[in-house]
Structure formats: structure tokens, C-alpha cells
Structure 1
């Protein structure tokens, strides 16, 4: 059986140090994603998104940095995590880039927060929440076939603070300079003598924690001065000049800028005299960059087109590119990208992105990417002909555990729900000869963690969250048009509403109207075309796309209107299932008594509860599924029992069979086999999948499939393929197995494990086969607690 990865969606960790773009090597962008490291090529013309995930860390990845290899075939990646470990990965170009773990080092006593490396040197530095900076040497063969790491020095920061950024630079032939800053308003400068760094200066001036540091040479001349950029929570970027010689550099004319007069004393130009083993230097304050309105997270230099430019990102939802004016010497912002949002700081669906946490230059400096609060990336590419930065399609993903997923009834798109309180819709962009997966809509942005989801029709779904009710959503016209145009789906859109939004302080998505670009909008007789509330209206052109939507649109304009609420449960919703004909919805909630562990049924025409609720379980019902013809409803729960409910002549479900000892531990999932209506599978914490068959006398256990750890998800393929029942299961350890059993002799089964490199790093929460695929080629969607959503291609050619 051949299993390949079709698509991976995963959100990035919101940490300014948790991403880096390799300017040499394989030129990939690596970012921390929960406990894993995601690898993405933003310049890939086929827009394939995340290519692979590196597993190994046991806690959140905080710091990622590429080590400069000076080779286009080899990348070396350094990663630091909240698990206190530093890991070294080596990547090489096979047909697809492959990375392997080379070494794991546990020297820090706290989470590693930042890593800094230096071009042309084998020295790198790490900083941790233990208030310690460590200096390392990476010793390697010329082709990096062997890599060894040696600890050179441990610097305990005094007075103690946590380093939020480090910057290394070459000072002269004999010395390196290291800048360290963090949860204080000062920057410490260290210089290396032989191999040991010593503190030589403390730079003052900032009035908040310092988030970003970066060194660069001002020009490519041999005797060029070094410039240090520091960015802080005080909303300012400061530039510092490191000048060789005893004479001080000419006072920067930028200091005389009258606009800076208001800052008074904080612009002191005190010179710090320092010296390396061979030469004397001075460090002076050079310039103050004003423009950001909130905390600044990153600042990084690049020489672009003969000019020195600085890229900065801020909590104010903007990314700025700065350049020194050639005549006045004043640093000015030449490009400002991102969102200019009226609802700054709002985290609702219609609010802002919540800040940009990372800003990175591409190796060729003509593309920049930034990361926002929602875990999604934005990308801008410079167009020389228009002299403009244009936004391009980037990648998105969940930032907390993905708890539920389901395909639309016709298999054209995939819906997922997560503890990050969003529901997302993924589909394939069919762009000429190529096709690529993207997020096309964010139907639900909620105030509660979302637990479960199921499709009712091709344009309607129901979801359950950590609240007592379920919500039903209908696809809006705007989303249907995007899917029709870009994904070549066909939607019967006669009855669809226009669009939706979430009112401020609200939880429910309200339907809103789409108006033409030239139509005035009247409010109580006053034309408010000029000062319109962006929440209450959406212009037609906003929903016209020739590409997958950007994050700004996903977070604001592509919600689905909520059309129904289903009441009745007393606690958080735990499971939901829809009958195959879409006429019934079955739901359950968390429970510790028989009274709350009931299953409630709702009809989808009138949205009324079908009384009475079904009572048999004594603890939380973990999974529900209707048989394909609707004859049975299968429920399983934490009370270790499975229950079969049969539909009678009045279309009421009553208890038919139950097994109070179906498994020896709690049952976590269940699924019906396809055409053989009489076969179902259950999966439990007792590391077993059990295959049951309904006979005239009762229900027989046909066979038990054993797994290495608790089985948390199981899904049977909706069709019998070549006389075999095919099923997939996922475990608590993140492993996936594809099993099959002869439809004539269920006792005969075989299981193939998916390669660990392809499997998620944490518990698998749900699996779903894509409907309407060819018999030999199937697709399986996987939701996991490692925040990833994956789609696998599975070739079943071996089943004859």
C-alpha cells in the first residue's frame, strides 16, 4: 500500500523567534508549529504549502534558526523548545528536501527562547528563560556529513533578566560582538577575547522590554561601520553605530530632526568606548525610527538594490520597510504593509489580526512574509515595474488542537474545527494545469472551543462547542461563488444568503447584505457612504477573487450565516452525527450521570427535537454514527459500552442491542462499514479495534485488531473495495494504520502502518475518507492534537 502526503495545514507558533528563512542551503522557511517544525517554500510556484513536519520536541518550539552552510544542497537547522532542549537537524536535497535529527543537547535549565547564528563563523548562541546565554561551536565536515556541537561558554545575565533576542556579528579578525536584550530596557554588549565573551557596554534609552536585535555592516567596504537595530515594546526602533578608531563618528544629522525634539533626554548621544583584543571602538546612538503605534516584535536588515533596508513588524498589524534618506540621513518608512484596521486590538471575527509577530526577508530580498495572531502567514512580493509590494497567496492553519473534521456530502471541500475557536474550510484550487490546497473560508469564529462537526447537506453543517447548544450554518452566496469559480464545484445557490458577520460582543454569525460598489448605503435617511461601519456591510468587489482568499478576507468576509441553534443539553457538546439522508441530527454532551448522558435527535426540516431523548449511557457519549440506510444509530461512550438504536415504523429510535462491556476501557470512536450494513467497528483506550456483526440472534464479535497505544479514532471507507472492508485508525501516540478485512470472512484482516515520518506528533482526534473518489486512489483526512490537518493519498492497488 502506497501512502503519500497530499496536503498539510498547520498554524505557526506566535513567537518572534520561532521562524527563519534560509538565505543559503535549501532556501526553505522553517517555523515552529506546536511541538513540530514546519518546512515551507514561500517561493514555490505550485503553492504546495507545508512540505513536511519535523517531529522530536516534546513541548512548544520557541526558537528556529538556520546555520549558514554556504552550500546550496545542505541546510543545517537549529531549534530550541520549551522542553529545554536544543536540536540540530541536517537537510539535503533529494527529489524532495529531507531533514534528519543529528543531535539533541540538554544544557539549558529553562525553555530556550532565542538562537542566533553568524554567516562565515561556526559560532552560534542560545538564550533561555533560565536567564542564561550559551555560546556554542558547530564542528562539522566540509560536506556536513558529520556534525558535532561543543559548548564554549555559559553567560549568566546579571542583573538577571530573560533574553528575548540575541545578535552576533564579526567585529574584526580576532573578535566577535554579541548583543543581548530582553525583559529589561537596556542592551548588553559582549566582545569575545580568545573564545570567551566579556561584557563591555550597556546601552540605555529604550523605555520597554526589547524584543528584537540585528547587526549589519552599513556598506560592503572593508572598514564599514557596524549598525545595530533594536526594537522595543516602547514602540520605537533605535539604531546604534559601532565605529572603529578613537575618533567619534560625525553626529548623525538624524538626531537634529526637529520631529524628535519631543523625546528630549532619551536621545542622549553618549559614546560608549570599547575595545577588542586589537582595536578600539565607540558605540553611539544613531537614529530613532518612529511610526509604529504598538509593540515592535522583529527588526531585520537586508542590503537591497544597493541600499540598506530594515524590515520591522509590530502589534499594530503593520510591517514596515525603512531606508535612510540619501540627502538628510533621516530614516523614513518607504513601505507599510498589512492592515490599517479601525478595530485595532479587537480579536473578534471582524477585528484586527492581533499584531504581526514575525517578519522575514526572502533570500532574493524581493519577497517578505509576516505571521499574525491567527497563526496564518501573509506574503508580499515586490513588483519593480509598478514599484509596489503586492500581496500573494500564503498559508494558513489551526493554532490549537484540531478536534473534528468532515467532508462535504459531495467531497468537494473539507471542514475542520479546533480548540482555537474556528471552523475552517479547505479545498483544491484548480488553476489551469496545477491544483493546490488552500483555506477558502472560515465559516465560524467563535468564543468557545469547538469540539465536533458534521455536514448536513452540501451547503450546510452543524457544529458543537464547549457550550450547551449546537449551531447550524448555511453557505453564503459569496463563498459558493468562490468555490464554483476556483475549485470548479457546482452549488445550487438559489436559496443562499449573501454573507455574514459577527456583531461586536456577539457569538452568532448574522446574515448581512452584499451591496454593489457604487450603491450608497442609507442609515436613517443619512447617506453614510463616506463613513461606513465596515462590520455591517460588505461590498460586492470584496468577494470577487481570482485566487484563494488572503488572511484578511478569511478573518472578516468569508463567515457563514448561522441559521439555527439546537438547545437541550446541559453541558459541553461532545459528539454530533447527521443521518445519511440529512433529515436527522444526533447529539450528545459531556456527562457523569445517566440523565445527562442522553442522545438528543433533531429533525432538520423544522429543527425540533425528536422526543424522547435516548437514554442508556451513564457517562459521556464519545461518538455517534448512523448506519448508511438510517436503520440504526450507533453510540459509544466512556462507560465502555456500545449501544445500537433501531428505527421503528414510526421513525422513532429505540434500544435494540447494547454491550455494557464492549471494551475493557472507555470506547473513543465507532464507525459503520459500508454496504454490509450489519458490520460496525469500535475503538477504545484498551488499544483495540473490534469488528462486530449484527446477526438474527444478536451481535457477534468477529475479530479484534490490536494497536500499540489507545485507539482514539477509526473510520471505515464508505464503499466495499474489491470485496474488502477498508478502515483507518489513529492512536493516542499519533500513529495511523490502514486495515482491511474480507467482506466474506471478517476474521481475515491485515493492517499496514503509515510511515512515522508522515504521521502527526500527537493524538489523532478524527479520521474521514473523502467520498466519491476512484476505487484504487483514495484520500484520507486526519485531524490531530498537534494542530495539523492532513490529507493523505492512499493507493489501494494491492487489493485484488
Structure 2
């Protein structure tokens, strides 16, 4: 068997330090739950995330490249909530773990490196900053780490921002800030750092620090930018010499109003063995309306610019005015809106958490609360920043996954309360996977999903009911134009959908023509018409795109209208399955008694419940699947039993059952392509193959796996004489088993390589309909992460 990774979709961690862009090899690394995702934003093939680095056992909080000066090898340093620091070495996209450090006693929050010096600093929630020396040879084939110093912050607080800079060839300055409103400045003396100054002025926690030289001259002054939750950015000047620098023009800026009276230009003096220095306040940057998370410098086209990202859903570019010296915002990107909703202080979790410059300074990326990246590239011809295609992914555990009935696209749903649609973009004689629609943005965690037709699906959530969604014309046209997926939508369906205020149901809306510049009609009758509610319509131009949709489109304009609700269950929905012909839907909910552990059936024509409900299980039904001909329904549950139900003249009856099918709870089931043969997978670390023989069902094969088996599915489409099924385990392993002929003795099992497997337990696996011996078959795997990753494997 040949198995390769086709596509990875994963959301980024909402931590300002959890991403970095390598200046040597031009790729980006970001924390994604307990993994590190590697992505090249400049890839013309739009492959997206290429690989994941697994090793951490908890959320990755900090990622930082150690600049090697070579494109042949990159060194990556990561810090996690598991209290460890890990050193990775490799060349994009292949990396290996070379060192694990466990000196910190609490989650690592920040990492800072300094180009040209073999040191780096780490901060943690234990209230300490540790200074490390990276010991390596010329080609970094051997890498080791030595602890140089531990700085205990007093009074004790958590370091949320660390920055390093070289004062000269021998001395280094270190700035540390966090859950206090002050900045601590340390300088190195004989390889040890000592406190040199404490900068005051901010009125909230400080989230970002960054040093830069004012000009390209290595002897020019250092500038330090500090960004805070008080919505302001402060600039500080580190000047060499006994005399103080000229007073900043910012102190006389009339736009500061009363703030100008409280801005102090007190000089903080310190000295090294070679020179004396002073630190003075330089400028106050006003413009953001909420907490500021990142601030980073870049010299672009001979000018010094500062990039900042904020909770107010914007990125800002700051530059000093040549004539007055006042720092002003020259460009703002993101979501500019007067209706921002609640602020961070009142519970909002929006905004941009990460902002990064590309190595050449002509691109920037930002990560928002949805876990999706946004990317802008500067166009010199148009003198503006243009948004580009980036990567997206879930940010909580994914519970359900399914392919459309023809396999044209993939649907996933999970605890981040969204349902997402992935498809292949066909462009320039190549294809790449992208998220093309976000059909459902909900207020409850979503647990399961299944396709009814190629343009309709059903999902179940913690709200105890199921919802049915139909594909709108706008999404159908996008999939047709960009993916070559022929539209089968009903012509009576609406153009798009939106979510009403304080509502959970997606309502249909219409698309209208864009306004023209033609003069208004003098017709009195037309002039008396009521104005159109802007929330009930969408401009047709909004749905006319020539590329995969950006995050703002996905979050607002590509919802699916809800057409039905199915009631009946008393607890959170746990499983749903649709018959192959789409005529019947079977559902189940979480239960601790036989009265609630029933399976309810619904007719998809009238959307009425088919009674009576099916009673057999005593605990939660974990999985359901109809046989290929729709005659049988297989159910498994936490009560360790499987049940096969048969339909006779429209009435469903229990045909076979095994109360002790596994020794522990059964978590997955699947019918095979062979008649009367099905699979069950359980926490007893086994996959069992069952076959109907006359009036009995016997176990013909039991496959023992090294961990609890959490998911299983058979590939119906592999042809005659062959059975292929995939399974996932609680340890994050994915296996593919193959049996030739009708015998069960010779079974070949191949486990997916460690570098291609999820970081946590596999939740669901799903084979894509279609495929062939020549083209191979595709398998989607979702992992039971606090964060999600959607894996499409190519198997031949």
C-alpha cells in the first residue's frame, strides 16, 4: 500500500506568540492545539499546511525560529502548556525533534531569539524568564542547550512579552513585560542579566514588545515598541551616550489632548562596560479601539514601519511623518465596522490575535478567533494591500464528518459550533483543497452530520434537535465555477442565507443587483416603496468570486438556509445516519436508560417521525449505519452491544443483536461491500468482523490493535474480491486493512506513518465515494483534538 497526505486543515491557537515566519526558508510555523503546523504562504500551488510536528502533550503557546542563516537547515523552538520547550531541526516540510527541555514548572508563554547570537530566552507562568545558550556545530547537525540564567520576576507576574536586542557586539538588552503595567529592562553583564530600568506609563497588561534599529546604520538608536491592553502602543528610545536625545515631537502633538500632560519623558540611565545609555519615551500611538496583541517592526523601502494587531478586528501599519515626526496610521486592514459588538472587557473573543510580516516585508498574515489565517500582499502597481488565499480550520474538537453522496465535497462539524465544506479548487491545470462554505454557524456544540442528497445535509447538536440544510444558489454557483461540481440545487431555493440577531436558524435571503449611478426615478409610486432591509439581502457581486473565499466571506456570506427541524429526543444528539437512497434518517441521543437510548427514524419527504422508535440499547448509541441496499440498519452503543434492524414492508424490527459484542463500549460500526458482513470497533482495542450465516451472526475475524479503536469505516468502492477498511485509535493512529478474496485469514494492515497522523485520538474516518485502482482512494480522518485537523490520505 502507498499512503500519502493529500490535505491538512487545522486552526491556529489563539495566542499572540504561537506563530513565527522563518526569515531564511520563507515558511511559517504556528501552534495548532498540541501540534505545530508548517505552511508556506507563498506556495503557488496553494497546498496549505504541509505537515504537523507532534510531540507536545498540551497546547502550544509559543513558536519561534532560531535564525541559522542557511536555507538548508532551520531550527524551530516551541513552548507549550505541558511546561516543556522542544527544539526541532529540519528543512521544510520535514522536521525532527532533537531536544526536549523541562526546566520550567508552569506553561511556557513566550520565546525570544536574537539573530547573530546563540542565546534565546523563554518566559513561563511560573513567573520566571530563563536564558539559554544553543550549542551547535557549523551545520547544526549537533544541537544542545545549556541553561545560562534564571530570572525571577519581582513582584511575581507572568511574562507575556519578551524581546532581545544587541546593544553592541558584546552586550545584550532584554525587555520583559506581562501581567503588570510596567516593562523591566535587563542588560547583560558577564553573560548574566541584571535589572537596569523599569518603564512605566501603560495602564494595562502588556502583550507585545519588539526592538529594532531606527535606521540601517548599526550604530543608530534602538527603538522599543510596547503594546498593551490599554489600547495604546508606546515607543521607547534607547540612546547611546551621556547626553539625552532631542525631545520627542510626540509630546507636543495636539492630537493627544489631555494625555499629553501625563506623558513623562523621564530618562532611565544605565551603563555597560563599554558605554552609557539612556531610555526615554518617544511616542504614543493612538488608533486601536480594543486590546492590542502584537506589534512588530520592519524596514520597508527605506522606511521604518510598525505592524500591530488588535481585538478591534484590524491590522494597522504605523509610520513616522517625515515633517513632524509624529507617528500615524498609514494603512488599516481587516474588518472595519461601526457595529463591532461587545468589547473584550465585556466578553468578546473576536479580533486578530497574531500579526506577522513576511521576510521581504511585502506580505502580512493575521490569525483571528475562528482559527483561520488571513493574508495580504502589497501590490506596487495599485499601491494597496490585496487579500490573498490563506488556510482555515476548526478550532475545537471535531465530532462528525461525511462526504456528499457523490463525493464531490467534504462536510465536517464539531465543538467550535461550525459546519464546514471542503472541496477541490481546479485552477491553472492543478487542484488544491480549500474551505468553500461554512453552512452552519451555531450556538451549540455540534456532534454529528450526514449527507441526505448532494445538496442537502442534516446535523445534530447539544440542543436536542436536528436541523436540515439545503444548498443555496450562491454556493452552488461557486462550487460549479471553481470546482467543477455540477449544481443539483432546486431552482426555487434562495440565493444565500444569514443568521438573524438572537437567532440560531439560518434564514434565506435574496441576492440583488449592485446599485447603479443612474439618477433616481421621478415615479412617485416607486419613490414610496419601503427601503430594503440590508440584513435580508446580499449583493450579487459578493457571491461572484474567482478564488476560494476569504475568511470574511466564509463567516458572513456562505451560510446555507435551514429548511427543517426534527424534534423528539430528550438529550444531546449523539449519532445520525441517512439511508443510501436518502429516504430515511436515523438518529440517536445521549442516554443512560433504555427509554432515551432509542433510535428515531424520520421520513425525508414529509419530515415526519416513523414510529415506533427502535428500542434495544440501554446506554448512548454511539454510531449508526444503513446497509448498502438500505434494508438493514446497524447500531452500536456504550452498552457494549450491536443491533441489526431490518425493514419489512415499511416497518423496522430488530433482527439480530449481541449484548456482549465487545468486552467494552463499542464506538464505531460499518457495513462492508460484501452482503451480510459488517464491522464493529470498541474500546477493548479490537475491530471485529461479523457475518450473517443463516439465522445467526458469527464473528469471523477479530483484529487486535494497540489502543482503543474509536472509529471504523469500510470502503465500499474497492471492487470485487477485495475488502478494505480504515480504523482510528485513541492514540491518534490510523490503520488501513486489506483482505483479498473471501477468506479472512490473510489480512494486511498498514499503519499511517507517525509524521502523517493526528496529534490526538481519531474521532471519525470516512472514505470518499468513487476512486479506482489507478487513481487510488481518499480517506478523511478527523482527530479528537481540542483543535481539529482534517486529513485526506491518498491510498493506492
Shorter-chain-normalised TM-score: which range?
Answer: over 0.9
Q: 1:55 to 1:748 in 2, by over 3 A?
A: same
SS of residue in 1 equivalent to 2:732: coil
1:633 corresponds in structure 2 to 633
For residue 136 of structure 2, the aligned residue among 140, 154, 158 is 140
2:541 corresponds in structure 1 to 541
1:677 corresponds in structure 2 to 675
CA–CA distance in structure 2, aligned partners of residues 600 and 742 of structure 1 = 37
2:430 corresponds in structure 1 to 434
Q: How does 1:149-188 map to 2 (within 5 A)?
A: 149-188=145-184
For residue 476 of structure 1, the aligned residue among 472, 477, 501 is 472
* Contact 1:317/1:352 (<8 A) preserved: no
Deviation at residue 761 of structure 1 after TM alignment: 1.0
2:403 corresponds in structure 1 to 407
CA–CA distance in structure 1, aligned partners of residues 288 and 86 of structure 2 = 35
1:200 corresponds in structure 2 to 196
Q: Is 1:739 aligned with 2:737?
A: yes
* Contact 1:702/1:747 (<8 A) preserved: no
CA–CA distance in structure 2, aligned partners of residues 5 and 205 of structure 1 = 51
CA–CA distance in structure 1, aligned partners of residues 458 and 37 of structure 2 = 31
1:252 corresponds in structure 2 to 248
CA–CA distance in structure 2, aligned partners of residues 652 and 396 of structure 1 = 44
2:103 corresponds in structure 1 to 107
Q: 1:719 to 1:346 in 2, by over 3 A?
A: farther
Q: Is 1:292 aligned with 2:288?
A: yes
For residue 498 of structure 1, the aligned residue among 495, 498, 514 is 495
Deviation at residue 99 of structure 1 after TM alignment: 0.3
* Contact 2:7/2:793 (<8 A) preserved: no
Structure 2 length normalisation: TM-score? Answer: 0.97
* Contact 1:317/1:353 (<8 A) preserved: no
CA–CA distance in structure 2, aligned partners of residues 222 and 180 of structure 1 = 23
Deviation at residue 720 of structure 1 after TM alignment: 4.2
1:83 corresponds in structure 2 to 82
Deviation at residue 747 of structure 1 after TM alignment: 3.7
User: Deviation per CA, 1:563-604, whole angstroms, max 9, x where unpaired?
Assistant: 000000000000000000000000000000000000000000
1:390 corresponds in structure 2 to 386
2:578 corresponds in structure 1 to 578
* Contact 1:353/1:374 (<8 A) preserved: no
1:774 corresponds in structure 2 to 772
For residue 337 of structure 1, the aligned residue among 327, 333, 336 is 333
Deviation at residue 612 of structure 1 after TM alignment: 0.2
Q: Is 1:603 aligned with 2:599?
A: no
Which sections of structure 1, spanning at least 5 residues, go unmatched? none
CA–CA distance in structure 1, aligned partners of residues 687 and 615 of structure 2 = 25
Q: Is 1:590 aligned with 2:607?
A: no
User: Deviation per CA, 1:646-673, whole angstroms, max 9, x where unpaired?
Assistant: 1102x11101011001001000000000
Q: 1:523 to 1:273 in 2, by over 3 A?
A: farther
Q: 1:525 to 1:457 in 2, by over 3 A?
A: farther
1:666 corresponds in structure 2 to 665
Q: Is 1:356 aligned with 2:357?
A: no
Q: Is 1:419 aligned with 2:418?
A: no
* Contact 2:780/2:793 (<8 A) preserved: no
Q: Is 1:53 aligned with 2:42?
A: no
- Report the more deviating stretch, 787-796 or 3-12: 787-796
CA–CA distance in structure 1, aligned partners of residues 651 and 409 of structure 2 = 32
* Contact 1:174/1:277 (<8 A) preserved: no
CA–CA distance in structure 1, aligned partners of residues 738 and 262 of structure 2 = 72
* Contact 2:496/2:560 (<8 A) preserved: yes
Deviation at residue 775 of structure 1 after TM alignment: 3.2
Q: Is 1:756 aligned with 2:754?
A: yes
SS of residue in 1 equivalent to 2:482: helix
Q: 1:40 to 1:523 in 2, by over 3 A?
A: farther
* Contact 1:353/1:372 (<8 A) preserved: no
- Report the more deviating stretch, 264-273 or 144-153: 264-273
* Contact 2:6/2:794 (<8 A) preserved: no
Deviation at residue 742 of structure 1 after TM alignment: 3.3
* Contact 1:36/1:53 (<8 A) preserved: yes
* Contact 1:246/1:281 (<8 A) preserved: yes
Deviation at residue 343 of structure 1 after TM alignment: 3.3
CA–CA distance in structure 1, aligned partners of residues 210 and 791 of structure 2 = 39
User: Deviation per CA, 1:682-717, whole angstroms, max 9, x where unpaired?
Assistant: 000000100011121211111101100000000100
For residue 514 of structure 1, the aligned residue among 508, 511, 515 is 511
2:70 corresponds in structure 1 to 71
Q: Is 1:213 aligned with 2:200?
A: no
* Contact 1:296/1:313 (<8 A) preserved: yes
Deviation at residue 719 of structure 1 after TM alignment: 2.3
* Contact 1:669/1:682 (<8 A) preserved: yes
1:43 corresponds in structure 2 to 42
- Report the more deviating stretch, 784-793 or 51-60: 784-793
Q: RMSD in angstroms over aligned alpha carbons?
A: 1.7
1:283 corresponds in structure 2 to 279
For residue 308 of structure 2, the aligned residue among 291, 307, 312 is 312
Q: Is 1:723 aligned with 2:721?
A: yes
CA–CA distance in structure 2, aligned partners of residues 304 and 553 of structure 1 = 30
* Contact 1:343/1:352 (<8 A) preserved: no
CA–CA distance in structure 2, aligned partners of residues 220 and 508 of structure 1 = 56
Q: 1:523 to 1:368 in 2, by over 3 A?
A: farther
User: Deviation per CA, 1:475-496, whole angstroms, max 9, x where unpaired?
Assistant: 0110000000000010123232
User: Deviation per CA, 1:283-302, whole angstroms, max 9, x where unpaired?
Assistant: 00001111111110000001
1:466 corresponds in structure 2 to 462
CA–CA distance in structure 1, aligned partners of residues 265 and 788 of structure 2 = 50
Which sections of structure 2, spanning at least 5 residues, go unmatched? none
SS of residue in 1 equivalent to 2:542: helix
SS of residue in 2 equivalent to 1:757: helix
Deviation at residue 92 of structure 1 after TM alignment: 2.1
Aligned length: 784
SS of residue in 2 equivalent to 1:302: strand
1:711 corresponds in structure 2 to 709
2:18 corresponds in structure 1 to 18
* Contact 1:425/1:442 (<8 A) preserved: yes
Q: Is 1:445 aligned with 2:441?
A: yes
